[in-house]
Homo-oligomer: A and B are copies of this chain.
Amino acid sequence: MAVRVDLNISLDGFATTTDATPDNSFGLDWGRLVEAYTATRTFRERVLHESSGEGTTGVDDKYAAAYFEGIGAEIMGAGMFGLHNYPDDPDWRGWWGDEPPFHVPVFVLTHKPRPAITVADTTFTFIDASPDAALGRAVEAARGKDVRIGGGPTTARDFLKAGLVDQLHVGITPILLGRGIRLWDELRGLENDYTVTSETAESGTIHVTYRR
């Protein structure tokens, strides 16, 4: 059982973008940040549910496929689920659509818990818990498989700072966003607890893995 984090960040360390508008809820920057990931065959099959056999199959796809392997439960922050968008609407089911790509129990961290909901084969459970306690719940639900800390970056950083993460993989897109939430804040010396490897993809994306 391992606790894993996978994130896409910019060369200047930002894991979120800031140019979303009412008309474009992701913004242009987000598309650029995850361009290499969303071009992979794995993303097209697993997230977009295409069966065209299209998409890249190189280094980026290797990491994309690994992202989905062996995960038994996921923890995410309220923002990643989408709770902040309609905080007062008890019927809001997040922005992951009718077929969420998780397929495992998901624990959503929030200071305002609400009843669990099930969408297709994914059950979202809303809990107000410390990283340690949330991980306990997720480990139990994962039944021996890995637990992913899905994000956002603030949630991932909380688990990294608490020393709870066994493997951190970042796909670094070599663009400069200049603003957003930085993944690396307050993590000075993190590498001391890990073995670090790096690899570049055909797309220019740099894959860095911290492994305990």
Contacts and interface: CB of A to CB of B under 8 A. Distances in A.
Interface in A166-193: 172, 174-179, 182, 184-191
Interface residues of A, number: 28
Interface stretch (A86-94, A111-119, A125-133, A198-206): A198-206
Contacts of A177: 188
A148 B135 CA distance: 50
A178 B174 contact: no
A162 interface: no
Nearest to A190: B176
A104 interface: no
Given A176-B184, A184-B12, A200 B206 contact: yes
A175 B198 CA distance: 12
A188 B178 contact: yes
A199 B186 CA distance: 27
B176 A198 contact: no
A10 to B, nearest CB: 9
Given A176-B191, A184-B176, A198 B204 contact: yes
A184 B10 CA distance: 11
A175 B200 contact: no
A5 to B, nearest CB: 14
Contact of A196 (B186, B199, B204, B208): B204
15 contacts: A11-B184, A12-B13, A12-B185, A12-B187, A13-B13, A172-B206, A174-B208, A175-B191, A175-B196, A176-B184, A176-B187, A176-B190, A178-B185, A178-B189, A196-B204
The 4 closest A-B pairs by CB, nearest first: A178-B188, A12-B184, A174-B196, A198-B200
